[in-house]
Amino acid sequence: MINIKNYFKTLVDISDEDSDLFISKLNRKEFSKKSVILEIGKQENFLSFIEEGIVRFNIPKEDYDFTFGFAFSGSFVSSYDSFLSRQPSGYNIEAITDSILWQISHDDLHFIYDNTTVGEKIGRLIAEDLYVKKMKRELSLLQDNAQKKYEDLVKQQPQLIQNIPLKYIASYIGIRPQSLSRIRKQIK
């Protein structure tokens, strides 16, 4: 809970009253390693702050799961397109490690927007952060080779990358696990 309070304080000057109201709408949820947080085809009803853990975004395929994103402790996670559109999600969100999430429902978030002085600003800043991450990922897919994508991921979360199975990292950067092993040997 302290992590999310500190996160808000980095975004805006939030009063104790607004902070307490926001916190009162959050629910703590624990997910064990490899559990599905949101299943493909289900509507996303929560915006979640990761207090602890790593999650991945994936599209299940017959012979493998295509991993297209990760989210780490201290960040927000959601099938945000589903959350906004109220349509079913086109992908899974899965806990890679045991994870603790603080979740706010769609309805409660709108209540916060309507009843606090900084709720809409926090929402906008979170949405902007999600958008920037999405654009960086898209540009990386178009411009970077597999080694650069791997190096960027290691720089982003060096202490956590050890907890992500290599097959997920390989899928994320668009190569097979064997090719990732070669890249890792070249870097060492």
Residue with tokens 């080779």: 145
Taking CA atoms, 41 is separated from 9, 28, 58, in Å, by 35, 24, 13
Average pLDDT of the chain is: 90
**118 and 175 fall within a common domain:** no
**167 and 123 fall within a common domain:** no
Domain hosting 155: range is 144-188
Residues with Cβ < 8 Å from 80, sequence gap 6 or more?
44, 47, 127, 130
Structural domain includes residue 107? yes
**180 and 89 fall within a common domain:** no
**Collapsed DSSP state (helix, strand, coil) of residue 62:** coil
Please name which of 95, 90, 125 lies closest in space to residue 14, comparing C-alpha atoms. Answer: 125
The CATH number of whichever domain residue 76 belongs to comes to: 2.60.120.10
Residues with Cβ < 8 Å from 185, sequence gap 6 or more?
none
pLDDT tens digits along 10-33: 878 888 888 888 889 999 999 999
pLDDT band at 1, cuts 50/70/90? low
Structural domain includes residue 89? yes
Answer yes or no: pTM beyond 0.75.
yes
pLDDT surpasses 80 at 159:
no
Structural domain includes residue 58? yes
Domain count of the chain?
Answer: 2
Q: Which two tokens stand for residue 161?
A: 């990358």
- pLDDT of the residue at 28: 96
pLDDT tens digits along 108-131: 999 999 998 888 888 888 889 888
Structural domain includes residue 138? no
**164 and 75 fall within a common domain:** no
**167 and 90 fall within a common domain:** no
Structural domain includes residue 135? no
Spatial strand order of the sheet with 76-77 comes to: 27-31, 99-105, 46-52, 76-77
**102 and 50 fall within a common domain:** yes
Exposed, middle or buried, 65 (CB in 10 Å: 0-12/13-18/19+)? middle
**55 and 100 fall within a common domain:** yes
Asked whether the beta carbons of 140 and 147 are under 8 A apart, the reply is: no
**69 and 149 fall within a common domain:** no
**79 and 121 fall within a common domain:** yes
C-beta neighbour count of 130 within 10 angstroms: 18
**125 and 71 fall within a common domain:** yes
